[in-house]
A and B are shown apart, each in its own frame.
Chain A
C-alpha cells in the first residue's frame, strides 16, 4: 500500500462519520430548521418595529386571554394527569407479571390510536344525546340533558385522556425500579403511608415525574384537534388560533407571531420544569 493510498483512506475515514449523518442533518436543516426559522424571523420583520407584531398581538384582550387559557389548560392537564397517573402507575408497578403486561398494553393502546378517534370518543360520551346524559336521566339524577360539550371542562377531559398514557408509562418506568426493601425499611421506622410516599416514593419517582410532565405539558400546549373538536370557537387555544389566523382569516403576521409564541413557551416550559426538578430533588439533581 503506497503512502498516497493511506492518506486517502485516512481522509475518507475522517469524513465517513459526517457523511453518514449528513442526509438526516440536511433534511432536518432544510425541511425543519429553515421553514420554522423563517416563520420566527418573519414575526420580527414588521417595518414599524421588531416587536410591532407582538405589541399588536398582546394589545388585544382576546389574544391575551387565549395565551393564558392555553397555559392554564396545559398546566391543569399536567397536574391531573400526574395525580391520576400516579395511582395507575402504582397499580401497574405493584401487579404480578401477567396483569402488569396486560395493563401496560392497555395504556399503550390509546397512545397508538389517532387523536381524532380519541377526541371523537368523548364527543359520543359528552354529547347532549350522549351516553353520560342518557345515563344520568335514566338514573333520575337530572330531568333534561345537560350541555357538556364545547366548554373548558370538555377540553380538559379530552386532554387528560390524550396524555395520561404518556404520564403512566413515564411513572411506571421509575416506580418499578424502587426496591421493595426501601418501603419496608421506611415502614418499620414508623412512617405513615403518606410519610413513605413523601420520603421514599416521591424523591425516587421525580425523574419520571419530570419526563412525564414535560411530555404532557408541551404536548397539551401544542394540541390542535382536541380543543377544536371538544371546545370549538368558545375555547380557542394558541394552536386553534394559529390555524384560524393562517387559514380562515389569512392573517399571516398574526400566525407567525403565534407560532413564535408557541415555540418560546415550549422552550421556556422545558427549562422551567428542568429547574423545578433540580430544586425539588434532595440530591440537588434530577
Chain B
C-alpha cells in the first residue's frame, strides 16, 4: 500500500516541521529593524557583542524605511527600529513608538544637544549624515559643482535619485525650486515644473541604498543623489566615484533609534540604545561606515574626521531637513511627483 505509506510520511514531516518551529520560538530574542545596508559590518561589531553580553538572540528585519515602519505598525513583532528623521516623525505621529527614559541611558549626557531629544520624548539621534550628489569622475567630463548641473542635457537617463517615499527624495524638489528662484512650499507649481525638466535625465527612482549601489555597479547610472551611508559600498566597487562639491551645500540628515510601542523588551531595548550610543560603537561607525558620531566623547583623527560630520562646530551648524513641512505637504507633492516620474 505505497500511497498510504506516502501519506504517513508526509504527515510525519508536517508534524516535525511544526515542532521545529515551536522549539525555535522559545529563545529570548530582540528584534531590530534596520536598512540591512551595513549589516555585514554591524553583525560582528555591534550586534554579536551585544548578544553575548546580554545573552539574547538578535533577529534582524531589513528593508527600506517606509516598508519597515509600516510592518511595525501593522504587525508588530519588532522591538527597535532605525529610521531617518522623517520616518521616525511619522512613527511618532501614529503613536507607534514608546517614549525613552534617558535615566536608563548611561551615555545620554555625552550626546550633542541636537541629538538628545530631536523629536520630543522619543528616540535619540544615533548618527548624523548628509544628502548630496556622487558621480563617476571617469564618465563625467565637466565637474559637477552645483545641484543645477543635474539638469545638463548630456546626463540623459544617467541619474538615479531616491523615490518619493524615501527620506531624501522630496529634498530634491527643494533644490529644483531653488534653481528657478522660488520656495517649494510657497510655489509648488514652479518647483515641480523644474522637476519635470529634470525627468529626462532620471533613469530610475530607487528605494534603498543597496539598490543604488546595484545601479552603479551594473553601469545603469553614473550619477546618484545619495545619503552618505550608501557611499562607501559604491566607492569600493567603483573607485572613480566621488562626492560632488556643490556650491549650495549638502543636506544634513539625522538617523534615530526608537522602541516600538508594542515591544515587550523595553528594558533590553534601552540597553541596546545605550550600546549603540557608546563611544566604541560610535567610533566604529564613524571609521568603518562614515556615519557622523553623536557622542561628543568620540575622538577621530583628522583623516577620519574629514569623511564625516564631526565636532561641535559642524554639528551645531547642522540644518536638518524641513521634515515637518514635507510631511504636511506629502499628499499633494506625491500626486505631483507621480505625474512626472510615474509616466
Taking Cβ atoms with an 8 Å cutoff, the residues of A that contact B are: 60-62, 65-66, 127-130, 145, 147, 149-150, 232-234, 236, 244, 247-250
**Across the interface, which residues of B come within 8 angstroms of A130, CB to CB?**
218
Asked whether B342 lies within 8 Å of A236 as measured between CB atoms, the reply is yes
**Across the interface, which residues of B come within 8 angstroms of A61, CB to CB?**
339
Given the contacts A62-B338, A128-B218, A128-B220, A250 and B73 also touching, CB distance less than 8 Å: yes
**Across the interface, which residues of B come within 8 angstroms of A244, CB to CB?**
165
What is the CA–CA distance of A145 and B220 in the complex, to the nearest angstrom? 9
Task: With A234-B342, A247-B71, A250-B73 given, name 18 new contacts (CB 8 A).
Answer: A60-B335, A66-B342, A127-B218, A127-B219, A127-B220, A128-B219, A129-B218, A129-B219, A130-B218, A150-B220, A232-B204, A233-B204, A233-B207, A234-B205, A247-B66, A248-B64, A248-B207, A250-B66
Residue of B nearest to A146 (CB): B157
**Binary contact track B199-225/A, C-beta < 8 Å → 1, others 0:** 000011101000000000011100000
Q: How many residues of B are in contact with the other chain, CB < 8 A?
A: 24
Nearest-neighbour CB distance to chain A for B230, whole angstroms, equals: 18
The answer to whether B114 has its CB under 8 Å from any CB of chain A is no
Contact of B203 among A60, A150, A248 (CB under 8 A): A150
Contact of B67 among A66, A145, A248 (CB under 8 A): A248
Given the contacts A66-B342, A127-B218, A233 and B205 also touching, CB distance less than 8 Å: yes
Nearest-neighbour CB distance to chain B for A180, whole angstroms, equals: 41
What is the CA–CA distance of A6 and B270 in the complex, to the nearest angstrom? 71
Taking Cβ atoms with an 8 Å cutoff, the residues of B that contact A are: 64, 66-67, 70-71, 73-74, 157, 163, 165, 203-205, 207, 218-220, 334-335, 338-339, 341-343
Residue of B nearest to A241 (CB): B342
Asked whether B334 lies within 8 Å of A249 as measured between CB atoms, the reply is yes
Asked whether A65 lies within 8 Å of B70 as measured between CB atoms, the reply is no
Contact of A248 among B70, B73, B220, B339 (CB under 8 A): B70
Asked whether A150 lies within 8 Å of B70 as measured between CB atoms, the reply is no
8 A-B pairs closest in CB distance: A62-B338, A129-B219, A128-B219, A248-B66, A250-B70, A128-B220, A147-B157, A233-B205
What is the CA–CA distance of A61 and B205 in the complex, to the nearest angstrom? 20
**Across the interface, which residues of A come within 8 angstroms of B64, CB to CB?**
248
